[in-house]
Structure 1
């Protein structure tokens, strides 16, 4: 029997959510009840049944709380998130389930089933199931509290949209379409919101330093001060949970199941990358500072670094963002991305009419994905790519359905905030990056065991496939397939080469910025500072070449503190691996499907069925190395 995608509701989202969410949790409870009284031979299959149902419930809750336009649906989805997390906590503290899994004969299992059992038992031990009742009860309380705190931290960012009113003259230097979409009021003022398509172009192109500073100050105070109290409680709860389970602190607890292994290794990695990037970063900073000084500005800070970075690209490398963006019409980029990834990975994307697919908002487009060679279904994707109120305001891939062979098709959702007209090239790169996650989710969805489905590798490898796909957004041959101006002329190869040269400028500075983000996430969790603003400023001084603005509180709007916790280092860790993966491709023929197909089958299709290091070694024919990254960083 052919599998069909999940049917979304036409209108009654709360009723559907109640059926899909609590209904799936009831399925999970029934499977676990049967597991407890079953023979050991059936335990793993029932465990898998329960895991599938539990993840189905959690997926719709996490997605709809982030994208649905109706407040009542968001509230219902958030309530379901709490219920699903509470169920998971109770499950992993259930001594009877733990005992049943321990009765399974490990030696009788094949490699996949054995890996599932090992991962399940590890998760139970990390939840404190083998501790006394007092500890288990406290773990339960802390897990429930953390669910509430993570929701609150993210909600305050999502709902904290603000505006800065600046003189209409401050739009000098902005693209025409931007100016037209920001009409002045009766007082001659225009509103610049904290939405990415508003704030980032303004900070890049506005020639008014006072207006840039005002807009940046608002942006870097997103969710402040409301998130101060939430953050303190979240850090304290994570620390208590980790120490209660016998770990020195949260970073060690979190890193145990990642490639990096320990909290100390996170700190060492951050310092290693920071040191490697310092000379390059200081050269970059000197160039920016010299250019800023010509305009009478004495400090490179959060209000002007993007502006001067853009000016350097224009003046030294001949890359004018206004010229570049005219080649990146959103519709053409959208279609081009599907064409390119389809060619690379042997996929076909078939649009599904909105009335047939049904989604949560008219902006969302839906595609069924199949293998081009034989038409075999792969899954379904939904693309929700423009900003709106109450929507998740970053860029991410959300799971809707985890793929299980012969049971359910994988479905993923791309949630971004791009302009509807012309795009900056950085937005194009971001779209390629996030689509990499979506492809990984789909191609890795042909699994028997839920534990391995989709993007199920160690978390510090998760970004590597997406960072690898970014490389295609910098290739002239690739870009010319879709990057055309209003008259249909493709982007000149010479311009792409200048863009690449300009992108090379500043990579040391950007690496140090990433390490500032990484150390803030790590140190906040390791040290739980009583004064987060003072701690942030100290870290800026040590790690970031770009100075903060007085009176701003970046950490309050840093959403990754909720999701990535202490592990923001993973972006750079993954980049080291991504650069090594890219070394296997022919840079003069990136559209060759042969190597892409081998990479697809070796790294993406297996999902989490093997350790990431083994997947990479299978593709490269050797363990991954750092030479390609070091060569890139120091070139």
Structure 2
């Protein structure tokens, strides 16, 4: 095994102490500010910026980009650790730096001499036309970013903008903290009679949580050693960590237990949540949500927009709030008949289990019963056929066939001289090679749920492909792919549900978008610079191979016998692809429409207004009642602590693009190497160096349309698609 290339510039996580990273971040900001100070001083003297050539302006821009690498790296590491290994020390340092980073980011966005350099490049039409497309696109996007940072505002308004940005960064971090703390604060020891129906893997998760519960309660003094010794072994404890929550909601026969967990989950960080943080402070996100909306509206008005939704859409494929709302409502109309059939199916089955009125805490449980009775499919029966090592090796085999790339796992600390440092023993590191054995980049897998790790799954494009010839600097792309899957238990590898398999494929699609770029201008390399409503295209696209018989054959074999997934189970799995797709689509549209409307509303909504908007959207879209106490919005980190504000619709928008892109593979053969090469070259390799619409049309040879999306979801035969709705969507994309 070879030593990882120095161009990967891998992190030494053993020495990545929070205090060290804090010093590195501050020093990096200081260095960048010194460069900006020099630009300001140069602009103030008599020879000044008026005589600046486009060539010199570009040299200054590229030098500044290079200076910022140090900040991107140190802050990227700290932010990553705060997501996957959060503790008081990391969180304190992370949050203490947020105002400094916000102030620096605002200064960059409002720095007139720097802005003038970008403008000088763009204004020299002959020079600009001769730039490589990636550099030209980066200049265009930077100029737009300057405008959205208030570069044209009077000084007093710039100061106000800066204060808003700083406060927003702190509020979003606190919002995220509250969700993590509320999730981890909940622990429910279970009685033997509450365990009925739970699977072997579910019980193992609960027992593992019980062991952690004993350790934690002893450490914080809540229970004495005598108390601990008196508890049974195994000791079963339910928590709100996703693998455990889903295990209970899907399989527990005890309906009151399911309701208890459901209520706890949907009231996290709300007025109904009585937990506090380590300082004894409330975890209620209500005020934070209204403050965030107010500040976003103020920011929008400063920039000359009517509302924050317009700010968000100014950088996306979609042109307007009305266009997105029409897209969502039209799709809801298409999905509602299927959703009504889905609900009726669940209600019929619920009667067989003595449930007269189906409730949200019954849905997953009854859905599993329907799968077993109508499709002869149990997630637990197929879980042993998806051991993580087989899934990952099959995933790597699939992308090798599609794109001609190979994956090689690296060794770790203490193994040999070629070891790679990690932040946790569960983490794995891989190198990615092209067909000619050329190293493309590297990626980390951190796939298991644990304490101190925020929920969900994500890809972090930590390090972009980048080169700077003036200092002979080359770096290859590196990313982190993170999940919260069921960990290895009882001496067996992690056994995935098919939902977890889909999640892994989804994040790996993001990873390929980041890693396979051929662009060396960091701002538009990989996922950088890609419109937010198109960035989910490669990830949703990748999921298709986990729904295909040929793909499933590569990622499945029984953990004990090595036998392939039996044909009856394979047929059942494929048949269940569109099971409940109507209800699931309406649920996503509900979230997306809520997000859009609260950010399009002026004046900014208070907490009561936020809840009223959510209820109104549910009245329009949902076909299943939601309890009055449900506070889903208080945990909606995508829009209050992530990058999806007025952009959650992107999942459905990009799903249309991905379905239409995959239809090309359906026409040509799903492992057709020529089609794979075309997708790689048209979509994955070019990153954000061209508009997403251009990239898609280069691959597909036409504009996107909705037919494949409706067909893939089982809503209608594409030939009978309502012409008006299809035309509306074609025009939207």
TM-score by length of structure 1 reads: 0.94
User: Deviation per CA, 1:111-135, whole angstroms, max 9, x where unpaired?
Assistant: 4333222211111111221121121
Native 8 Å contact 2:407 2:433 kept in 1: yes
User: Offset at 1:177?
Assistant: 2.4
User: Offset at 1:310?
Assistant: 1.6
User: Offset at 1:467?
Assistant: 0.5
Native 8 Å contact 1:399 1:413 kept in 2: yes
Native 8 Å contact 1:32 1:47 kept in 2: no
Native 8 Å contact 2:682 2:698 kept in 1: yes
User: Deviation per CA, 1:83-138, whole angstroms, max 9, x where unpaired?
Assistant: 33321111111222222322224411224333222211111111221121121111
> What is the match of residue 163 of structure 1?
187
> What is the match of residue 522 of structure 1?
596
User: Deviation per CA, 1:235-286, whole angstroms, max 9, x where unpaired?
Assistant: 1111111112111111111011101122222222221111111111111111
Native 8 Å contact 1:517 1:568 kept in 2: yes
User: Offset at 1:331?
Assistant: 2.6
Q: CA RMSD in A?
A: 2.3
> What is the match of residue 396 of structure 1?
458
Larger Rg: 2
Mapping of 1:111-150 within 5 angstroms?
A: 111-150=133-172
SS at match of 2:206: coil
> What is the match of residue 414 of structure 1?
481
Native 8 Å contact 2:449 2:483 kept in 1: yes
> What is the match of residue 29 of structure 2?
25
In the alignment, which of 397, 402, 415 is matched to residue 344 of structure 1? 402
Is it true that 1:363 corresponds to 2:426 in the alignment? yes
- The alignment of Structure 1 onto Structure 2 pairs a total of residues equal to 633
Question: What CA distance in whole angstroms lies between the structure 2 residues aligned with 1:35 and 1:41?
Answer: 16
Native 8 Å contact 1:57 1:84 kept in 2: no
Mapping of 1:567-606 within 5 angstroms?
A: 567-586=647-666, 589-606=669-686
Question: What CA distance in whole angstroms lies between the structure 2 residues aligned with 1:188 and 1:386?
Answer: 21
User: How has the CA–CA distance of structure 1 residues 44 and 84 changed in structure 2, closer, same or farther, with 3 Å as cutoff?
Assistant: farther
Native 8 Å contact 1:65 1:75 kept in 2: no
Native 8 Å contact 1:257 1:458 kept in 2: yes
Is it true that 1:450 corresponds to 2:522 in the alignment? yes
> What is the match of residue 587 of structure 2?
513
Mapping of 1:75-474 within 5 angstroms?
A: 75-104=92-121, 105-107=123-125, 108-109=127-128, 110=131, 111-161=133-183, 162-183=186-207, 185=231, 190-225=236-271, 226-355=284-413, 356-371=419-434, 373-405=435-467, 407-420=474-487, 421-444=494-517, 446-456=518-528, 457-474=530-547
SS at match of 2:432: strand
User: How has the CA–CA distance of structure 1 residues 180 and 626 changed in structure 2, closer, same or farther, with 3 Å as cutoff?
Assistant: closer
User: How has the CA–CA distance of structure 1 residues 30 and 408 changed in structure 2, closer, same or farther, with 3 Å as cutoff?
Assistant: farther
Is it true that 1:623 corresponds to 2:726 in the alignment? no
SS at match of 1:413: strand
> What is the match of residue 620 of structure 2?
542
User: Offset at 1:26?
Assistant: 3.9
User: Offset at 1:360?
Assistant: 1.4
User: How has the CA–CA distance of structure 1 residues 399 and 330 changed in structure 2, closer, same or farther, with 3 Å as cutoff?
Assistant: same
> What is the match of residue 57 of structure 2?
43
Native 8 Å contact 1:366 1:381 kept in 2: yes
Is it true that 1:3 corresponds to 2:27 in the alignment? no
SS at match of 1:103: helix
SS at match of 1:583: helix
Question: What CA distance in whole angstroms lies between the structure 2 residues aligned with 1:395 and 1:318?
Answer: 29
Native 8 Å contact 2:8 2:442 kept in 1: no
Unaligned 5+ runs, structure 1? none
Mapping of 1:483-522 within 5 angstroms?
A: 483-485=556-558, 486-522=560-596
Question: What CA distance in whole angstroms lies between the structure 2 residues aligned with 1:218 and 1:323?
Answer: 29
SS at match of 2:595: helix
Question: What CA distance in whole angstroms lies between the structure 2 residues aligned with 1:61 and 1:106?
Answer: 40
